[in-house]
Structure 1
Amino acid sequence: VPSSEDCWKKKSEDFKNKWNFPNAIGALDGKHVVIKAPQHSGSLYYNYKGCNGRISDGGVFANCSLSNALSNGSLNIPPPMPLPGRAKYVPYVIIADDAFPLKPYLMKPFPFRNQPGPNRVYNYRLSRARRVVENAFGLLANRFRILRKPIELCPEKVIKLVTAICVLHNFLLERSSRHVYAPQGSFDEEIDGVVTPGSWRQDPPPDNILFSNRPLASNMSNESKEIREEYKEYFVSPEGEVSWQYRYIS
């Protein structure tokens, strides 16, 4: 996690320049790791997907240290800024999907289909920027093949294993080894709205893999809704629209 305002601003500039989503500082998703149920665990590790189904992505996030730090403002995130060409101040935000609650610092799509045009534009722009986290999980499972099948270890060891994998993944991406670990073409690439899928997407889906557990989250505050509305209005304004976005909302 970035430790200074300047580092957060650099992340935000990256999202703005590559994904046309200003004031974004990250993308959030959750994945369940498939494990073989421990002996004598009863029904705790059973559901129709073969895993512990009692915990949703949003529920896990609500009880993690990142959620607490975002809520209490202890991450040195810069103060709110207007979107380009706009007057209303909005906070720096993390991009998520329907599994997570709408918060002033956490933007999610408008729910359900048959939304008005501006809402569909917002959903497209948010989904487009969220591609970074899809690529992260996709590359992770592609490179560390143990994640593509049930792991036959006790839960305590699985936690250590997955933590080590995440640390290695980040380390390899941030060093000179990046060109070997994630060569050109590994991630989705986009030019003027046309997406070239990353090479990790060519993997045939196995029987068991990282998956999300995502009932819809609710309890949206008026402040959160107003921030989402500001993004929606920005994305259909002359300052914020991109020329190809209307091709993808019909």
Structure 2
Amino acid sequence: MDSSSEEDILLTATAVCCHLITSKPKKKWTKEWLKKRYQLSHINLLNELSLEPSDWRNYLRMDEYTYFKLLELVTPYIVKQDTKMRQAVSPNERLTATLRFLASGMSYEELKFQTVISPQLLGVIIPETCKAILMVLKDYMKMPETEAEWRTIAKGFEERWQFPNCLGAIDGKHVRIVPPPGSIATYYNYKKFFSIVLMACANANYEIIWCEAGVNGRRSDGGAITETRFYKKLNNHDLNIPNKKEPQNSTKDLPFVFVADEAFKLTPDLMKPFGKNALTPERRVYNYRLSRARRVIENVFGIMTRRFRIFNTAINLSIQRIDLVVLTCCILHNFLRRSGSNYSDYELSDIDDSTSTVEDNIPVQGIIPLNVINGNVSNDAKFVREEYVQHFNGEGAVSWQNERAFI
């Protein structure tokens, strides 16, 4: 074979290879149906739901007026500019996708079919929108900073739940998660699932005044609070808690305290029930009176679990983003409580009737009871609790407490 023939063969082979390379179909940068977002998105469904207020409220967990109020607040922080390549996802679409994610507990892969937004983009949009919600609604969840603000909370507990000088009800909730790779043991809790712990404190009106999330579920439940900024400030006396104040219709003063369940350590600032083995008739009355105030925070968790179904799923995000999602639900809870949007149905609350008895009708699925903590208790803490026992069985007694305490 001469050199010219070899050259011809080489040129032909090169041409074939170039053809195969250039004829290979290019990978699409997006699916065709995702380009039809304005035609297929659930935004069109929402336009129809505006004619059915109850369906709108069920879909986004708020009424139309409240939704557009929130949209107006967050728009400056989530609006994006169109580019030559594509149109930006509007603030309306970003907010509805985020609210639907919280309300339904869907994964990004499932949510893409409703929103017509790719899972990858949802993974950017939803955290950004949650951060914007936390920013614009920050005033809806504020820890009291002055003695006057603490006294206002205490007045609410005394008037509504007949527990004097109560500064808030504290509890923890295990939020189910998909654990990060290589950290299974860290997040596996005593209830035999993976979780982080949400710690929160509520006022008498079912509003959260403080919450922190992110402590891994492996930690003892009563110990989770010790890692919070709140607990460190409480121990360092940095919360500006008022000094003793005489409660209504009383001739003696009682310390200002928080209330919690058996999971927490008894301290002079934190009251808990007596254990079953230490009960007397007087202590049963104390336990009942304390439980009326304490279960406010349990009801808050129950309301949020019912409204934001993401709490009914194992959240499959990074731990930092799970914290963000959980805190967003908490602040939205307060926003909706104050909005007058029928966020909390009538049957979701404890009800005081004309005889001052209480019916606890709230569903509390998803609220995980905490491990009991005993340990060493200071004499000061025991003394404060006995002061409350004496008050509830003396001048602070109410006519219906014995009947309810011994059921």
The one of 50, 67, 84 aligned to 2:193 = 50
- Match in the other structure for 2:147: 5
Would you say 1:194 and 2:336 are equivalent positions?
A: no
Residues in 2 aligned to 1:10 and 1:140: alpha-carbon distance in whole angstroms: 24
| Other structure's SS at 1:29 match | strand
What code does the residue aligned with 2:254 have? Answer: V
The DSSP-based 3-state class of the residue aligned with 2:384 is helix
Contact 1:83 1:89 in 2 (8 A): yes
Give the TM-score of the pair, scaled to structure 2: 0.55
Instruction: Measure how far apart 1:91 and its partner are.
Output: 2.0
Choose between structure 1 and 2: higher helix proportion.
2
Over alpha carbons, which structure has the higher Rg?
2
Select which of 142, 160, 177 maps to 1:18: 160
SS across alignment from 1:82? coil
How much identity, in percent, do the aligned residues show?
A: 40
Residue number in structure 2 paired with 1:140: 304
Aligned ranges 1:60-209 → 2 under 5 Å: 60-84=224-248, 86=250, 88-113=252-277, 115-174=279-338, 177-191=339-353, 192-198=355-361, 200-201=362-363, 205=365, 209=366
State the partner residue of 1:27.
Answer: 169
Q: Distance in 2 between matches of 1:117 and 1:19?
A: 20
Residue by residue over 1:72-122, the C-alpha shift from the partner in whole angstroms, topping out at 9 and shown as x without a partner, is 221222111234455554321101111001111100011124611001110
Once superposed, which parts of structure 1, at least 4 consecutive aligned residues long, lie more than 6 Å away?
none
Letter of the structure 1 residue corresponding to residue 399 of structure 2: S
| Count of aligned pairs between the two proteins | 241
CA distance in 2 between counterparts of 1:214 and 1:180 reads 34
The 5-angstrom pairing of residues 33-44 of structure 1 reads 33-44=175-186
CA distance in 2, matches of 1:149, 1:217: 32
What is the CA–CA distance in structure 1 between the aligned matches of 2:289 and 2:258, rounded to whole Å?
13
Residue number in structure 1 paired with 2:136: none
Unaligned runs of 5+ in 2: 1-142, 196-216
Q: Is the 8 A contact 1:121 1:235 kept in 2?
A: yes
1:43 aligned counterpart, secondary structure? helix
Structure 2 Cα separation of the partners of residues 36 and 217 of structure 1:
31
Match of 1:173, SS state, is: helix
Matched position secondary structure for 1:180: coil
User: Given that residues 148 and 210 in structure 1 are in contact (C-alpha distance below 8 angstroms), is that contact kept between their aligned partners in structure 2?
Assistant: no
Segment drifting more, 102-111 vs 165-174: 165-174
Q: Report the alpha carbon displacement of residue 215 of structure 1 after superposing the two structures with TM.
A: 3.1
Letter of the 1:161 partner, please give it: V
Question: SS where residue 133 of structure 1 aligns?
Answer: helix
1:179, distance to aligned residue in structure 2 (A): 3.5
The counterpart of 2:388, out of the listed 209, 231, 237, is: 231
CA distance in 1, matches of 2:161, 2:219: 31
In 1, are the aligned partners of 2:188 and 2:218 still within 8 Å (CA)? Answer: no
Gaps of 5+ in 1: none
Q: Is the 8 A contact 1:31 1:210 kept in 2?
A: yes
Change (3 A) 1:155 1:121: same
Q: Name which of structure 1's ranges 95-104 and 53-62 shifts more when overlaid on structure 2.
A: 53-62
Calculate the TM-score normalised by the size of structure 1: 0.88
Distance 1:248 1:113 in 2: 20
Equivalent residue number for residue 397 of structure 2: 241
